Every structure is written in C-alpha cells, then in structure tokens.
Amino acid sequence: FKFYNTNGEVSDYPVIDAGETSNNRFSDKFSIVTVYTVQGRKVLFTGDIYKFSELVLKDTLADDYDLIEMSHHGSSSANCQEFLDMIVPIDK
C-alpha cells in the first residue's frame, strides 16, 4: 500500500470475532485493528473497538509502537484503564 508517498507493510493479526449475539447496533465491535509499518515505524490503528477488544489486544499486541491511534478518536471515556496502563511513552 502507499502511505504518504512511502511504501509500507500491513502486519497480519487475527480478527476478533464479536460472537453470535452481535448485530448491527454493535457494529463497532467489528472494527478492524491494523498495524502499519512505514520506514521502520510501527503505527497501531484501533478503529472504534471497545473494552472487550482492548483486553484481548492487551495480550495479543503487547509490542512497541511509535504511534497509537486511540479508539473513538481518543475521547476521555473511550479506552479502558487496563489498555491505557500498558501504554508507556518513551523518548526517542
């Protein structure tokens, strides 16, 4: 794919199934979480996932990222504390 005139790679991570009880009212549960690697930088896009998906990702994607796009545009109540606690900013 092309990302700001830079070639990048899309990492392969499992799709999280929201289960049989899901319906269109809860379409955010089907948000796609994507990791882009561009010029050696890793960017995590979380879509509009909710706490359940964040807790699954907490174990699945325990990795270092240069940038994380927080779900629901980073609103103050969008992300669960357990997910926020795993994010440790570093000075590069």
Which domain range does residue 41 map to?
Answer: 1-6+31-92
pLDDT at 4 over 50: no
Number of domains in the chain: 1
Q: What are the tokens at 40?
A: 């050696």
Q: What are the tokens at 91?
A: 């000075």
Is 12 part of any domain?
A: no
Tell me: the pLDDT tens digits for 73-86?
Answer: 667 777 888 878 87
Is 87 part of any domain?
A: yes
Beta-carbon contacts of 23 under 8 Å, excluding residues fewer than 6 positions away, are none
**Length of the chain counted residue by residue:** 92
Is 11 part of any domain?
A: no
The confidence band for 25, taking pLDDT boundaries of 50, 70 and 90, is low
User: Could you tell me which of 61, 64, 54 has the C-alpha nearest to residue 84?
Assistant: 54
